[in-house]
Homo-oligomer: A and B are copies of this chain.
Amino acid sequence: MCEANAYVYKDGVEELYLENVDVMKPEQGKIYLKNLFGEQKVFEGDIREISLLRHKIILEKR
């Protein structure tokens, strides 16, 4: 499968935020995320980095 896990980066540490992310949509300073199972989350912050080959989305608070 080609989904990725989303992590929140803080002080050098990456903490799991949402697994198996399919859709991501930046919206007015927030990031809307939806995963394979329809679970939805809204992160208040930015995308720091995405690596699809490593299946990794790194988010960061502003």
Contacts and interface: CB of A to CB of B under 8 A. Distances in A.
Interface of A: 1-4, 21-26, 36, 46-53, 55
A11 to B, nearest CB: 19
B36 A53 contact: yes
A47 B47 contact: yes
Nearest to A31: B47
B55 A2 contact: yes
Nearest to A46: B26
A41 B51 CA distance: 15
A3 to B, nearest CB: 5
A14 B51 CA distance: 22
B2 A25 contact: no
